[in-house]
Amino acid sequence: MDKAIEYTRIVSVVIYCLIFIAGILGNGLVIYVTGFRMKRTVNSVWFLNLALADFLFLTFLIFTIISTSNNYDWRFGKVMCKLNTIVICVNMFASIFLLSAISLDRCLSTWVVVWAQNKRTVCKAQLISAGIWATAVVCSIPFGIFRDLRKGQNNTTYCAHSHTTEQKYMLTIFRFIVGFLIPFLVIFVCYVAIGVRARRLQRTKKQRPRRVIFSIIFAFFICWLPFHVFQFLELQYASNPDLRRVVHIGLLLTACLAFMNSCLNPILYVFMCEEFQRKIKQSICLVLESALAEDHLSFMSSRSLSSHLSRISRKSESSTPFERKDTGISFTECKVVITEERDTGSTE
């Protein structure tokens, strides 16, 4: 069983590294596109804040990677131990609260169309997002307070829980109810209402944005539900050594699954959102244009020289016969110059 725990720890480090690389690149791209390339809309505000929450968490994931790779030895001090725990919880609370806000926004846009057109503004979405961030931080602070450094064998320092069993039980229930159950009920009711309204109106157009949002919500629950389940199992079987080892392995694997949610959202944006795909292609084209700008200018200068010499030759043909004889020589010289210019360009 100890070997299984050790193998699971190594696999977790590998998965954490892959999540870190994919998540940083993907969410950085989402932040760039939604923040600087796309027109600022209510939906882009939601997606931008989701990407910011994931990006913030992934920047702190490097501390967890280093600690886990060193057999959970924490070398970054007490403040970073507490801050790392708070950031992980902020990511979870902010993501689920934003998904709840998105679901409510979609529901109101479907049922109260006129009201939504008049009251649904980017400024209000930004204010709601700021309130969500503040609420997420407040909900996460208790988890940082009850996190501290502990000394283990061989002078090893662990970043572990410092609360009693009763306090841990209360925090686990609080995280499950506030960070999962209540938002799940809100989202479920909203999408049932959206489905009922869509059937009444028999709408078949513009299903793609709804599909993107539904996929993001589905991915969140698939990633986080096993984590909450094993948190309760840890409380239930803490006194049983054998089952505690099994639960420990499950906690490592479900933590990987929960962290994986931070790099799934950009993948869903790319594969399911047409506007996001279009903006990415435009951005890539701009990068290529910048990289090839000097060669492009050199090529254009060669072409412009050739066209200029061709215009001179055409003018010469409309002149006098004596002048045509002279210009025939000059035209031949022009062809030689053009040929040499093209040969030089191809050699370069």
DSSP string, 293-318: HHHHHHHHHHHHHHHHHHHHHHHHHT
Which secondary structure element, helix H or strand E, spans residue 157, and what is its range?
strand 157-161
Are 237 and 244 contacting, i.e. CB atoms less than 8 angstroms apart?
A: yes
The reported pLDDT for the residue numbered 152 is: 80
Q: Of 66, 7, 58, 27, which is closest to residue 270 (Cα–Cα)?
A: 27
Tokens standing for 190?
Answer: 């909203």
Integer Cα distance of 172 and 227 in angstroms: 11
DSSP string, 132-193: HHHHHHHHHHHHHHTEEEEE-GGG-EEEEE-S-HHHHHHHHHHHHIIIIIHHHHHHHHHHHH
Tokens standing for 269?
Answer: 């944006």
- Residues linked to residue 149 through DSSP beta bridges, in sequence order: 159
Integer Cα distance of 31 and 33 in angstroms: 6
DSSP string, 247-260: HHHHHHHHHHHHHH
The reported pLDDT for the residue numbered 87 is: 93
The reported pLDDT for the residue numbered 14 is: 94
Are 158 and 152 contacting, i.e. CB atoms less than 8 angstroms apart?
A: yes
Handedness of CA 21, 82, 155, 168 (dihedral sign): negative
* Best CATH choice for the domain 2-287 from the list 1.20.1070.10, 3.40.50.1580, 1.10.3080.10, 3.30.1280.10: 1.20.1070.10
Integer Cα distance of 262 and 115 in angstroms: 33
**Residue 72 Ramachandran class (φ > 0 left, ψ -120 to 50 alpha, else beta):** left
Integer Cα distance of 121 and 185 in angstroms: 25
Domain range annotation of the chain: 2-287, 293-347
**Residue 152 Ramachandran class (φ > 0 left, ψ -120 to 50 alpha, else beta):** beta
Integer Cα distance of 308 and 169 in angstroms: 83
Integer Cα distance of 313 and 193 in angstroms: 75
Tokens standing for 260?
Answer: 């994986």
Residue stretches of the chain with pLDDT short of 50: 204, 288-289, 291-305, 309, 319-348
